[in-house]
Amino acid sequence: MTSQQRTLPGREDQVAALGIDLGTTRTVVAVSDRGNYPVLPFTDGEGDDHFYLPSVSALTPAGLVHGFRARQAARQGAPLLRSLKRLLASPRTTWSTPVRLGGQELAVGEVLTSYLRHLREEIAALPALAEVDLAAATTSVVVAVPAHAYGAQRMLTRDAFEAAGFHVTAVVNEPSAAGLEYTHRRSGTLSSRRTRVLVYDLGGGTFDSSVVDVTGGRHEVLASRGLPDLGGDDVDLLLAQMVLERCGTQEEDLSPTELDDLLEQCQEAKEGLTPQTRRVVVELRGQSVVVDTAEIDRRCAPLVARSLAVMEPLLSRLDDGSPDLSHVAGIYLVGGASAFPPVAR
């Protein structure tokens, strides 16, 4: 999550503060408004509001487009780039690392910067911020990155925000942000004895787990482990594979537009799952494909097991050898994919 501040025009003593969560699949923006923190809506091409901007980019003859515009362009055949943030996880990734989009190669840093510029423009156009002169003010941001992020990922992210017109004041670990949120939402579970929180952060493309010690106003990350290639995207891919198997179709038989549409449907189906859901329906080439959730759970069990195996060594940092875990405040599930029912189970 990032924190953005804007000065109200003509009132230099007041600041409009925004929190920006740059996720692998979605970007969410909240505004601080007199003690409340409403999430801002973004409008898609059909005029519907969503409390996120898709973290996707597409290449059109006119150049790069992002967010809902990218999704619309993809439906018309434009090549789509998903999960750009996941590409940053490699220690070998630099600003100029090429990303293939359609028949072109683009620098990953330039694509990320272009997306952030679009985000800034979308925020400026929101009616909720009509009284804030976003264009005239200096934009200060605190950028959050995964606790296991390499130095190159931290620097590239910072540079992209700067190039997009933001002034980065700090780069912090995401578990620290989760610890702050836990303090705000679950303060009743904390005490002088119960100070440690285990953060399980399963996002769209990456997994992060951390032990955070919350003492007074301090949030210290004691230990972290993560995976740069595990997230909700992998559930989408597995569900898509199950649909293809039922249709007797191979992925390579699909056009890029058909594949993008299939993955988008699978993402929506996954996000609509509840503990009571028994089956999901996905459309492919005019055929309604039914997939039982029991089969989804079985196929996705190894993904959940991977996250638990990575997190297991952190348990020793929770209790300091104590068998009763009496000073553990709780396990905090964050990240969009943590709502996937098998995770909670």
Work out the average pLDDT over 73-82: 92
Q: Averaging pLDDT over each range in 4-13, 178-187, 272-281, which range is the top one?
A: 272-281
Spacing of C-alpha 293 from chain mean position: 24
- Structural domains in the chain? 2-173 (3.30.420.40), 186-345 (3.30.420.40)
Is pLDDT above 50 for 95? yes
Token reading at 76? 């018309």
Long-range contacts of 294-298, Cβ-Cβ distance < 8 Å, separation of 24 or more: 295/242, 296/238, 296/239, 296/242, 297/341, 297/342
Cα angle vertex 339, ends 37, 281, to 5°? 120
3 state SS of 99: strand
Q: Give the pLDDT confidence score for residue 92 in this predicted structure.
A: 86
Average pLDDT, the chain: 84
- Cα separation, 98 vs 87, in Å, equals 10
Tens of pLDDT, residue by residue over 126-160, are 876 666 555 545 566 777 787 777 788 889 999 99
Is pLDDT above 70 for 326? no
Percentage of the chain with pLDDT > 70?
85
Is pLDDT above 80 for 290? yes
pTM: 0.84
Residue carrying the six token digits 């992925």: 251
Is pLDDT above 70 for 43? yes
User: Environment class of residue 174 by beta-carbon count within 10 Å: exposed (0-12), middle (13-18) or buried (19+)?
Assistant: buried
